[in-house]
Structure 1
Amino acid sequence: MLWGYDGWFWASVVLGALSCLVCVVQALRGRAPDDYSQGSVLLLEGFLLAYAVGSLLLPVLGPPASGSVLEYWGYLLTALLIPAGTFVWSLVERSRWSTLILGAAGPVVVVMVYRMNFIWYYQ
């Protein structure tokens, strides 16, 4: 079933993994949040904003939802808040631990997009 997911899901896998990798490497180096770690999370947030626009068009241009649309939008709004929240955290607490928290945003977003695809196409 994993190969049946759309390009948005695979883009989230690539962006989430790269963001996580950049942030974890920076945290292991003992770095406070910098342009690389924060930028990778902002790129992930930009992707999610584009995903939200695509989600607005999906009912018109794509197949109808097979699961709960309310649940889908709940996941999407939560996914939008996670990178934004970790970014604000990294602005408030300038330590290597907040760089590690930035790294957690990538895998969480991947799981959220995976679940959204499952709700829309397979449930």
Structure 2
Amino acid sequence: MLWGYDGWFWAAVLLGGASFLVCVVQALRGRRPDDWTQGSVLLLEAFLLAYAVGSVVMHVLGPAPTGSALEYWGYLLTALLIPAGTFVWSLVERSAWSNYVLAAAGPVVAIMVYRMNFIWYYQ
């Protein structure tokens, strides 16, 4: 762990930050949701699915969360729903404003993975 956080957290920060930047830049340019913005959010969702599989494996084979397992899985389920929800939003509302909604997914996922990291290791 680097500075008290695992690689999953740092991956979430990098992917979430990149997704945020791509979506905000496209929104500021007045573009409608496209492959770049929607793809960045789908990449975030794919990361969270891998994170969920890793969490199940860790829960079965490794140490359990030091905090509340129910709280951890609630955070994970919510984190999985956020990029999926913003993606569906961007399919329904095809204006440039949807890119701002897509942009919100990146920081929210990074913050939620931070909290899940805290629950797993430090609570």
Relative to the length of structure 2, the TM-score reads 0.97
In structure 2, what is the equivalent of residue 119 of structure 1?
119
Q: Give the % identical residues.
A: 80
Quick check: 72-81 or 53-62, which moved more? 53-62
**Number of aligned residue pairs:** 123
Q: Which amino acid aligns with 2:54?
A: G
In structure 2, what is the equivalent of residue 71 of structure 1?
71
Which structure is higher in helix share?
1
Q: Which runs of 5+ in 2 are unaligned?
A: none
In structure 2, what is the equivalent of residue 36 of structure 1?
36
- Deviating runs (4+, > 4 A) in structure 1? none
Distance in structure 1 (CA, Å) of the matches to 2:93 and 2:40: 18
Q: 1:54 Cα deviation (Å)?
A: 0.3
Q: Which runs of 5+ in 1 are unaligned?
A: none
Distance in structure 1 (CA, Å) of the matches to 2:95 and 2:34: 10
Q: Which amino acid aligns with 1:32?
A: R
- Secondary structure of 1:4's counterpart equals coil
Alignment map for 1:35-114 (pairs within 5 Å): 35-114=35-114
CA RMSD of aligned residues (A): 1.3
